[in-house]
Amino acid sequence: MLAVADTGPLHYLILIDHADLFGQLLERVLIPDAVRDELCNPGAPASVRSWIASPPHWLSADPVPSAALDDVDSSLDDGERAAIALAVRVRPDLVLMDDRAGVAVARTKGFVVTGTLGLLVRGAQRGLLDLPAALDGLGQTNFHWTAALRHRILAEHGRSTA
C-alpha cells in the first residue's frame, strides 16, 4: 500500500516510539520535500530530527513543483498543500494527515485519509501495539484532541494489546 504523508502523523508517531507502524502497515510512504523540511526544522524535537536524518527504507521524499501547489487551497500550511499536491500526482492508496482543513481538502479530491489516531487504531487491531498505552503516550505530546475522543476510541476499539 502506498501512502503520502503530511508532517503530523510522522511527527507524533516518532515522538511516541511507534514510527515503525508505517513500515508495518504500509509498503511505501512518500513525503514532499516540504514535509521533510518541517521534520528537519531546528524547532522540531531532537528525536524527530534524528529520525528523519536517517530515514527508513520505506520512506522517500519527492519534490513537488511549485505550479502543482496552485491547485491546492492556499489557506493550508506548506506541508499539507505539498502533500495533497503530491497525492494528486501519484494517486496513493492513503493520505496521512491530521489537520481537519487539510483532511477536508484531500477528501474533496477523492482521497482516503487517516491520521495519527487512525494509524494507532489500525496498529492495535493488528496486534502491533497496546492502544491505551499508545494513547497515553500521545497525551504526553502537544497533539490536539479531547478526552471524549480518547474515550470513544477506547470504547470502540477495546483494549487491543501487542
pLDDT single digits (tens) 12-36:
999 999 999 999 999 999 999 999 9
Give backbone dihedrals phi and psi of 114, rounded to 5 degrees, phi first.
-140, 165
What pLDDT shows up at residue 81? 95
Based on the fold, state whether residues 62 and 127 are members of the same structural domain.
no
Give the predicted TM-score (pTM) of the model.
Answer: 0.92
User: Is residue 123 in a domain?
Assistant: yes
Based on the fold, state whether residues 57 and 108 are members of the same structural domain.
yes
Based on the fold, state whether residues 104 and 145 are members of the same structural domain.
no
Based on the fold, state whether residues 112 and 126 are members of the same structural domain.
no
pLDDT of residue 111 exceeding 60, the answer is yes
pLDDT of residue 118 exceeding 80, the answer is yes
- 159 pLDDT band, cuts 50/70/90, is low
Based on the fold, state whether residues 83 and 135 are members of the same structural domain.
no
Q: Tens digit of pLDDT for each residue in 66-91?
A: 888 888 988 999 999 999 999 999 99
pLDDT of residue 127 exceeding 50, the answer is yes
Q: Tens digit of pLDDT for each residue in 35-59?
A: 999 999 999 999 999 999 999 999 9
Based on the fold, state whether residues 86 and 128 are members of the same structural domain.
no
What pLDDT shows up at residue 158? 65
The helix (H) or strand (E) run that includes residue 101 is helix 100-108
User: Is residue 162 in a domain?
Assistant: no
Based on the fold, state whether residues 95 and 145 are members of the same structural domain.
no
Residue 143's domain spans which residues?
Answer: 118-157
Based on the fold, state whether residues 111 and 129 are members of the same structural domain.
no
Number of domains in the chain: 2
- 100 pLDDT band, cuts 50/70/90, is very high
Helices (H) and strands (E) in the chain, counts: 10, 5
User: Is residue 126 in a domain?
Assistant: yes
Based on the fold, state whether residues 64 and 17 are members of the same structural domain.
yes
Based on the fold, state whether residues 6 and 81 are members of the same structural domain.
yes
What does the alpha-carbon distance between residue 44 and residue 42 come to, in Å, rounded to a whole number?
A: 5
What does the alpha-carbon distance between residue 92 and residue 6 come to, in Å, rounded to a whole number?
A: 13
Based on the fold, state whether residues 31 and 41 are members of the same structural domain.
yes
